Amino acid sequence: MQTCGVTTWAYSGSASATDGLNDQPKNTSKQSPPFTESTSSGTHYSIVTGGSSFQFRVSPSAVTAGQSGASASLAYQATATPVLVSDSGCIEPGSVAECLVGQGQMAEMSVGSYTLSNYQWSFSGGATLFDAAFLGTSGTSHWWYPFTGSTGSTVPFYAATAALPETIQCTATVSAPVTLQTIGQASATFSLNIVSPPWTYTYVAGVTSFLTNQQAYQDVYLDPITYPVEIIAGTVGGGWPYTLNPPGMAFSLEVTTPSDFTYAESTGQDFLVQLVSCDNVQTYTEGNPLSDILPPAGDTYAKVLDTAYPYPFDGGPYTANGSTNSSSDSPNWGMAPPPPNGGNNKWTTYVGEQNSFSMFLAFNPPSWENTLTCPVPLVEAPWTWNSYNTLPSGSWTWPAPTGSPVASTGIVTGYLDYQWDSVG
């Protein structure tokens, strides 16, 4: 902003003044014979980009004629108000601000006492961001919405992936104080490093077994191949209750909250969430086949939540302090046993298991000064269990089970398909 005022007077002559700003100056002329006085003053607003310094060229003037005496005075001032985008919810351990994935952020644009309107927010740098207003949780559902932008001076967001750095930019229309004269469009940026906590995540597959329910037969351990009542992903040991060593899929998880983000009032947590889809069928010597299909017809997403959120079998949540924790899954399906233990004319003749799983390692960051946080999937462990077994015609003995669990493609980092709308 530039302000300039020029005053000139003449004795026994004419006087005129121009402030040189060419921005609708205020001109006044006063005559008190034999004196004539002329004043010109104005304010000029401009938006300067591309540097931390600026230069203006101003040409004020004062002219008198036919006078026997004259004088002139000049007052000029230039001030700069920075256009700023700031972010609350982050820390600044160095030259660039940082936040953890899942920590709620609030970006804001300001230009001193100037009035802003027509905000346009954008982000670049590689992180996947989500609008805080559209992050949904409802009953058994949990899903992410992409960042949709904001039309206000502030924009809330969460980061679901790491980026170094993320650039937050806002462009807005700037208007002058009081008069609300439109000056133009101004833009500003803010750099934010989005940090992922260090993690270690592994999973190991077991093999498929047939299991006889010993408790149903007076705790007598029967040969699981000859008298099966359950097919199970895992290696079955003897005795009751039975043991699985190894289980169908064993998981090991370890997450460490970075030291810069450890707060006395809150701690980060890590946990597991598993999604599943399946198309299983079992046929019998009589009656209709039994099907187990997930997601159900018409479901929105490709997988449903497996049992509960978080995964209820040693899936946490755990304090994310670098400790190693373990979990496992051994999916199974009960079968009708053949004689002599079936007790009727209906027993299983075929069982087909076709299952696809996604076990996510998730992280909920600590809250700093009561800022909002949001659980973020750090990594996915996809795996499958496909087993197809037929009881030979005229036989009461099943062949050895087929189809061990398989770690499909290994660990997937930066995975975001953390969506479901029903429970399996």
| Under 8 Å between Cβ of 6 and 60 | yes
Say how far apart CA 194 and CA 186 lie, in whole Å. Answer: 26
pLDDT in tens, 217-264: 333 445 556 667 788 888 876 655 566 778 899 999 999 999 999 887
pLDDT of 64? 84
Say how far apart CA 360 and CA 415 lie, in whole Å. Answer: 9
Q: Is 160 left (phi over 0), alpha (psi -120 to 50) or beta?
A: alpha
Q: How confident is the model at residue 313 (pLDDT cuts 50, 70, 90)?
A: very high
| Under 8 Å between Cβ of 58 and 46 | no
| Same structural domain, 157 and 221 | no
Domain end, chosen from 150, 175, 195, is at 195
Q: How confident is the model at residue 274 (pLDDT cuts 50, 70, 90)?
A: very high
| Same structural domain, 218 and 316 | yes
- % of the chain surpassing 90 pLDDT: 33
| Same structural domain, 99 and 157 | yes
Inform me whether the pLDDT recorded for 147 exceeds 50. Answer: yes
| Same structural domain, 284 and 253 | yes
| Same structural domain, 168 and 267 | no
Domain encompassing residue 24: 2-78
Say how far apart CA 165 and CA 146 lie, in whole Å. Answer: 19
| Same structural domain, 211 and 349 | yes
Q: What is the mean pLDDT of residues 131-158?
A: 69
pLDDT of 199? 94
| Same structural domain, 173 and 237 | no
Q: Which residues are CB-neighbours of 174 under 8 A, at least 6 positions away?
A: 47, 83, 111, 114, 115, 116, 182, 183, 184, 185, 186
pLDDT of 213? 55
Q: How confident is the model at residue 185 (pLDDT cuts 50, 70, 90)?
A: very high
Helix (H, G, I), strand (E, B) or coil at 214: helix
Q: Is residue 422 part of a domain?
A: no
Q: How confident is the model at residue 323 (pLDDT cuts 50, 70, 90)?
A: very high
Domain end, chosen from 195, 221, 240, is at 195
| Same structural domain, 68 and 101 | no
Q: How confident is the model at residue 353 (pLDDT cuts 50, 70, 90)?
A: very high
Tokens of 22: 């060419």
Q: Which of 218-222, 263-267, 332-336 has the lowest mean pLDDT?
A: 218-222
Q: How confident is the model at residue 297 (pLDDT cuts 50, 70, 90)?
A: confident
Q: How many domains does the chain have?
A: 3
Domain end, chosen from 78, 111, 132, is at 78
| Same structural domain, 191 and 204 | no
Q: What's the CATH number where 167 sits?
A: 2.60.40.10
Q: Is residue 421 part of a domain?
A: no
